[in-house]
Structure 1
Amino acid sequence: METDVLVVGAGPTGLALGIDLARRGVAALVVERAEALFPGSRGKGLQPRTMEVFDDLGVLDAIRTAGGLYPVGMLWQDGRRTGEYRMFDAVEPSEDAPYTEPWMVPQWRTQQILRARLEELGGKVAFGREVVGLDQDEGGVRARFASGEVVTARYAVAADGGRSTVRRLLGIGMTGEAVDPYPTLVADVRISGLDRDNWHIFPPGGAGDDYLAICPLPGTEDFQLVARFPEATAPDLSLEGVRKVVAARSHLAPESVTELRWASDFRPRAALADRFRSGRVFLAGDAAHVHSPAGGQGLNTSVQDAYNLGWKLGAVLRDGADAALLGSYDEERRPVAADMLGLSTRVHRGETRRGEATRQLGLGYRDSPLTRETRTHPGPLRAGDRAPDARVAGIRLFDAFRGPHWTLLALGDVEAPEPDGRTRLVRGPAPGTYGPGLYLVRPDGYVGWAGDTPAGLPDYLARFGRR
C-alpha cells in the first residue's frame, strides 16, 4: 500500500489530523492497533480553543449536541451535602471569543464524531494494524505491521499515545517526572442514588482512604468515577473492586454501582519528547507529551498539534511549498507543549487555579520563524497571535476563516492586493480587537503576517507554495 501520509493511532489526535488532511485532498491512511476506537471517557474536557478548532473542522455542532457545561461540584461528608465547588470561573462569551468555558464530552464520543467526519470526507480508519517496524530514507517511510503488510508513505505521524511504539522505533527519548506517586482509578459506570446535576466529590474520610469523585457524563447514562489510592495499592479494576471503593468512601451501597463499562488505572506524570520530529516522521499528541489530567490540557494540546501540522503537510504535498516548512512544527509546538505540561502539573498540585491559561485562547507563535510583524506601530494584536472572532462588514470572521485556506483581512483605510485562489479577502472597518492594518490569517487561525501596506506580503506567501 502507498499513501501520502500514514497516521498511526486513531485517537483524537490522529482523527483530527486525518480530517484536516482529507479536506486538503491529501491521501492519508489512519491506522489503529486496536480493533475499535478507544471505549472510555478519559479525556472528557474540551477547552475553548479546541472548540474553535472543531468549528473549523466541521464537527462543532455534533460536539455541542453530545456534551454540556461542567456541573457544579457537590461536596459530601457522612452522607450529607456540605458545600459546593466550582472547577471553573464562569466567563461570558464575547464577540471575539464565542466559546469561553470548557465543554464536557466523553472521549469515546468525541472520537466517534471525529471518525464520522473523517469518513464523510472520504477517509477511513484501518483497525487491527499494529506497527512493528519502521524505516525511512530520502524518498519516504516504510511501516511494517504485525500482519506482515507494509505501507509506504511520504510522511508518517506517530499519534499512538504515551507508550508510542513509533517513538520507540525512532529512538526518541522522553523526559519527565511523576506528578503524583499515588495510583488513580478511572472508570465509566452506571450508578443509582446520585443526581446528574452535580459532580459528586467525597473527600478522604479515614486512614488509608483518599478522595472519590463521581461525575455525570452528558449525553449518556454514565458517570465517570475517579479514585486515588495509597502508594502501595494496586487498584482493582473489576466491578466488585469498584463497588468496594464506592461503599468504603461514600454513603452509597455497593449495589448502587449497577454496571462497569470501562476501567483503567494510571499514575499521573508529565513528560515531553526530546524532539517532535525525526526525518519524515512526526510525533503528535500523547506520543509527544503526557500530561496530568488535572489541567484538562492533554487532549486539547494534542488536537492542536494535529491542527498545526495538517496545513503544513498540505502546503508541502499539495501546494508545492518547500519541505523546510515542516521544520516549523517542532519549533512551534514543542514550546507550547512544554508550557502546557507545566500548567497541568501546577493545577494538579494545587499551585494554580483553572483559569484563563487553561482555556488556551492566549496561545500563539510570536517567536515562530513563520511570523512576520511589519507594522511600524503594532497594536495589541500582533503577528503570531490567535486571530479573534469579530464582525467585519456583516461577515463573521470565524465563518470567513472556516476551511483549508488563508484569509487576508484589510481593515480600515488600507490598500490590499487581490487574493490568489487559496486566499479569501475580507475588507471593512477595523474591529477594536484588531485595529487598522492588513492581517494574513493562517489556515490554523493565527496571524502569520501583519502590515500597514502590502509590501512584503507576496514574498511571505511564496514560502507556502501559493501557485
Structure 2
Amino acid sequence: MAPQTLPVLIAGAGPTGLVAALTLRQNGIPVRIIDKVPEPPFGSRGAGIQPRTLEVYKLLGVLPDILKHGTPTPPFHIYNYPEGKEIIKEFFLSPRSYPTPGMPFYNPMLLGQDIACGILRSHLSKYDCHVEFGSELRALEQHDDHVVAHIVRAGGPNGSEETFSASYVIGSDGARGAVRKLLGLQFDGVTRDDAGIILGDLRATNLPRDCWAGWGPNGKPIFSVLPRYSHDDDTFWVTLMAFDKDVDYDRLVRHPEEFKAVVQKITGRPDIEILEFLSLAFIRFNIRMVKEFQRGRVFVAGDAAHVHSPAGGQGLNSSVMDAFNLAWKISLVHKGAASPTLFASYTAERAPVIEKMLKLSTETLDKTVGNDDDGWKRGTRFYQLDTNYRGSPIALEGRGEDVPAPPANMYTFGDLGRVRAGDRAPDAPNLLDLKDPAAAGLARFYDLFTPTKHTVLIFSDRAAAADEVVSALGGYPAGLVQSVAVLPAMTSVREGLVLPKADFVVKDTDRHAYEGYSADHTKAEPTVAVVRPDSFVGATGRGVATVKEYFSRIFA
C-alpha cells in the first residue's frame, strides 16, 4: 500500500462531498477531501434547499447557520413585455405552508451554493478536516483491501504527483469528473438540444429586491433575477432560458456585452445597468444516470452519478441524500461492525429514487419549454419528504400486515399513511424527558436522532417490556445503537415510578409520537421502530424479535 493511508478519500468538495465528509468525521472516520478547482467557487447554483435537506442539516448540526444566511422563497413577479415595469402576474413557486408535528420543516429555503458550502466547510474544520483545493484525481487502482489514487497537486510547471492509499473512495466530482469515467460506468440518458440555461451572478442597478423577477414574451419568464440576500444589495442571481435555437448562447457567455444587450431587449428596461459579472456559464441540459453507484471500493454520488435540468430544484438535494445514505454505511463497514454486503443497499435504495427524480424534473422542464404555466409551479411534490426505501434489502416490515408495493412515484409527496420500513422517520415534538427532569424545555425525535447511531424507539407503558428490548441491544457494538422508551400521554408520573432502562425515556405529551408511528401501548409486546443514522425507518415491528432480525441485516 502507498505510505499515506486514510480510510476514505473524497474527490469533489461540493455539497455532496462535504456532507459525506462531515457525516464520516462525526462518526470518527478520518477523511481526506480534495477538489481540482484552485479555490472555492463563487456562484448561486443549487440555491434551493428542500425541507428534507433542512432535516439532514439539522441532524448534522449545521442548520442554525443555514437558517441564519438563507431566506424563504420570495414571490415571483412577472413584468409586462416589452416595457418591463408593470407587474402582470404574481405567484409563489413554492407556496408557504405550515409545518406539522411529523414534518418540522415544510418550506424550502434559498441560499447560494457557495455560502452553503462555506458553512459545511466551517463545520468540517471543527473535525480537523480541510478541503485540499487544487488537487486533482487522475487515476485509480483497486485492490482487495484498498484503493490507490494518483493525485496531481497544482503548483510548479507540471504540478506535483502523489500516490495515496485509501480503504474507500467517494467520487463526488460532478458530471464531468474523473471517478465515474475511471470506473467505466455508463452514463445513460439524453442531451436536450431544445433547452439549456445561462446561469450567473452579477452586480446591477435598478433591479427589484422584494421578489424573484421575470421578463419574457407572452408573460413567460425567459430572463429572471433573484436577489442574493446574503450579499450586497446590488448582487443578483440571474437565469436566461436558452430555448431559441437561433441564438448562440455560448457566445453570450464569452461576450458579456452581448449578454447585456439581450437582457435590455427582453426586459425593455434601459435603466437596468449591469455593473459586473461575477460568474456566468451556459449549461446544456443532460438527463443521465448510472445504473451502478458502486464498483468495488469506489462509489459515485451526486452529479457524478446523475444529472438533470434544474427544473424543480432537486439536484443539490438529491446529491445530499446520496451522501447521507452512503456515509453511515461506510462508517459501519470500516469499523468492522458491518459486512461489505451492506453496500449493496446503496444502489438498491438510491437508484430507483433518482430514476423517479429524473422523470419528475424532466416533466417539469417539458412544461416550462412548452410555455405551460404548470412548469413554474412547485410545492410538496419536490420536498423529498416522502422519498422512501421500501423494498430495500435491509428494510424490515415486521408488524404482520402485508407490505404494499412502493407508491407509484416513490419520489413525490403523497398520502404517507402508516409509516413503513424504508420511509423517512417522522418527527414528534413535545416529548417530556423523564430521565432528566431538569432538562430545559421539551424534546423532539429530531433532537435525539443522530447520524452516528441507530435509534431504537420502544413504545410501551410497561418498563419490564421495554427493558427486554433494551437488554437485547446490549449484544451490539457499543456506541452504535441508542434506545428511546416512549411512554404514552396518559402516563401519570408519580413518585416511585419505575422507568425503563433505555438511554432516553420520554413521555409523548401530545400523542404525536404514537400517532406518527401507529404505535399501540396496549399490546403485550411493545411496538418498536428502528431509525437508521440517516433518519429513515429501518424496521418496524414488535418486541425483541424485530430488533434482532433487523440488526442481523446490518451488523456483521
Out of 239, 252, 260, the residue aligned to residue 226 of structure 1 is 239
Out of 343, 366, 381, the residue aligned to residue 326 of structure 1 is 343
Post-superposition offset of 1:165: 1.2
> 1:176 and 1:233 mapped to 2: Cα distance?
25
Alignment of 1:128-139 (within 5 A): 128-139=134-145
> 1:205 and 1:150 mapped to 2: Cα distance?
58
Q: Is the 8 A contact 1:400 1:424 kept in 2?
A: no
2:172 is aligned with 1:159: yes
Out of 454, 457, 482, the residue aligned to residue 424 of structure 1 is 482
Post-superposition offset of 1:312: 0.1
Partner of 2:116: 110
> 1:274 and 1:29 mapped to 2: Cα distance?
27
Q: Is the 8 A contact 1:4 1:154 kept in 2?
A: yes
Q: After superposition, give the CA deviation of every residue in 1:7-60 in whole Å (9 maximum; x if it has no partner).
A: 000000001100001111111111100111221111100000000000011110
Q: Is the 8 A contact 1:244 1:254 kept in 2?
A: no
Is there any run of 5+ residues in structure 1 with no aligned partner, and where? none
Aligned-partner SS, 2:277:
strand
Aligned-partner SS, 2:328:
helix
2:531 is aligned with 1:441: yes
Partner of 2:151: 145
> 2:457 and 2:146 mapped to 1: Cα distance?
38
Stretch deviating more after TM superposition (221-230 or 62-71): 221-230
Post-superposition offset of 1:205: 6.8
2:305 is aligned with 1:257: no
What letter matches 1:367 in structure 2?
Answer: G
Stretch deviating more after TM superposition (424-433 or 3-12): 424-433
Alignment of 1:43-442 (within 5 A): 43-77=46-80, 78-79=83-84, 80-146=86-152, 147-179=160-192, 181-204=194-217, 211-221=222-232, 222-229=235-242, 230-235=244-249, 236-237=252-253, 238-253=255-270, 256-350=273-367, 353-377=377-401, 380-391=418-429, 392-393=431-432, 394-413=442-461, 415-416=465-466, 417-418=469-470, 419-420=473-474, 421-427=479-485, 428-429=487-488, 430-436=513-519, 437-442=527-532
Stretch deviating more after TM superposition (439-448 or 248-257): 248-257
Post-superposition offset of 1:424: 2.1
> 2:456 and 2:277 mapped to 1: Cα distance?
52
Q: After superposition, give the CA deviation of every residue in 1:49-87 in whole Å (9 maximum; x if it has no partner).
A: 000000011110000111111111111112222121221
Q: After superposition, give the CA deviation of every residue in 1:414-462 in whole Å (9 maximum; x if it has no partner).
A: 7332244422222222431112121010000011011122214134224
Q: Is the 8 A contact 1:247 1:253 kept in 2?
A: yes
2:24 is aligned with 1:21: yes
> 1:371 and 1:104 mapped to 2: Cα distance?
33
> 1:195 and 1:250 mapped to 2: Cα distance?
13
> 2:272 and 2:140 mapped to 1: Cα distance?
49
Is there any run of 5+ residues in structure 2 with no aligned partner, and where? 153-159, 368-373, 403-416, 433-441, 489-512, 520-526
Post-superposition offset of 1:182: 3.0
Distance 1:400 1:463, change over 3 A: same
What letter matches 1:372 in structure 2?
Answer: L
Stretch deviating more after TM superposition (197-206 or 395-404): 197-206
> 2:271 and 2:32 mapped to 1: Cα distance?
45
Stretch deviating more after TM superposition (33-42 or 372-381): 372-381
Q: Is the 8 A contact 2:207 2:272 kept in 1?
A: no
Q: Is the 8 A contact 2:206 2:272 kept in 1?
A: no
Instruction: Count residues with an aligned counterpart.
Output: 464
Post-superposition offset of 1:179: 4.4
Based on CA coordinates, which of the two structures has the bigger radius of gyration? 2
Q: Is the 8 A contact 1:11 1:37 kept in 2?
A: no
Stretch deviating more after TM superposition (298-307 or 160-169): 160-169
> 2:192 and 2:386 mapped to 1: Cα distance?
25
Distance 1:139 1:423, change over 3 A: closer
Post-superposition offset of 1:201: 0.6
Distance 1:458 1:448, change over 3 A: same
Out of 6, 10, 14, the residue aligned to residue 13 of structure 2 is 10
Stretch deviating more after TM superposition (225-234 or 107-116): 225-234
TM-score, normalised with respect to structure 1: 0.95
Post-superposition offset of 1:198: 0.6
Q: Is the 8 A contact 2:388 2:424 kept in 1?
A: yes
How many percent of aligned residue pairs carry the same amino acid? Answer: 35
Q: Is the 8 A contact 1:376 1:452 kept in 2?
A: no
> 1:312 and 1:282 mapped to 2: Cα distance?
12
TM-score, normalised with respect to structure 2: 0.80
Post-superposition offset of 1:134: 1.2
